[in-house]
Copies of this chain bind each other. A is one copy, B any other.
Amino acid sequence: MIDPDRFLRDLHKLRSFGASGVGKGVIRPAFSDADIAARKWLWEQFKNAGLEPHFDPTGNLFGLAEGPSVLLGSHSDSQPEGGWLDGALGVIAALEIARASDGGVSVVSFQDEEGRFGGLTGSAIWSGQQTLEQTDLFVDRQGVSFAQARAVLTDQMRDFVDPGRFTGFIEMHIEQGLTLDHSGQKIGVVSEIVGMRDLTITFQGQQNHAGTTQMHLRRDAFQALSAFNALLNERFAEVVTATTVWTIGHVKVSPNAASIVPGQVTFSVQWRDGSSSRLAQMEQIVRQAVADTADAYKMQVSIGAMVGLEPVAMNADIRQSLEASADKVVPDHWQTMPSGALHDATNVSHILPVAMLFVPSIGGISHDFAEDTAEQDLITGLKVLAGAVGVAN
**A residues lining the B interface (CB < 8 Å):** 175-179, 182, 194, 196, 198, 200, 208-215, 217, 220, 222-223, 225-227, 229-230, 233, 242-253, 256-262, 268, 270, 272, 339-342, 364, 366-367
* 24 A-B pairs with C-beta separation under 8 A: A177-B211, A177-B214, A178-B212, A194-B211, A198-B258, A200-B258, A209-B341, A210-B270, A211-B245, A211-B342, A212-B339, A212-B341, A213-B340, A214-B243, A215-B244, A222-B249, A222-B251, A223-B233, A225-B226, A230-B230, A247-B261, A249-B257, A251-B253, A251-B256
Task: For residue A233, give the distance in angstroms from its CB to the closest CB of chain B.
Answer: 8
Q: Which residue of B lies closest to A245 (CB)?
A: B215
Whether B182 pairs with A211 at a CB distance below 8 angstroms is no
Contact between A250 and B257, CB atoms less than 8 A apart: yes
Which chain B residue shows the least CB distance to A233?
B223
Known contacts A222-B251, A251-B251; is-contact A211 B196 (Cβ 8 Å): yes
Residues of B within 8 A of A198 (CB): 258
Could you say which residues of chain B place their CB within 8 Å of the CB of A340?
A: 209, 211-213
Q: Which of B213, B222, B246 contacts A178 (CB 8 A)?
A: B213
B residues in contact with A226, CB < 8 Å = 225-226, 229-230
Query: Which one, B213, B249, B258, contacts A364 given CB within 8 A?
Result: B213
B209 touches A366 (CB 8 A): yes
Let me know if B209 and A177 touch, CB within 8 A: yes
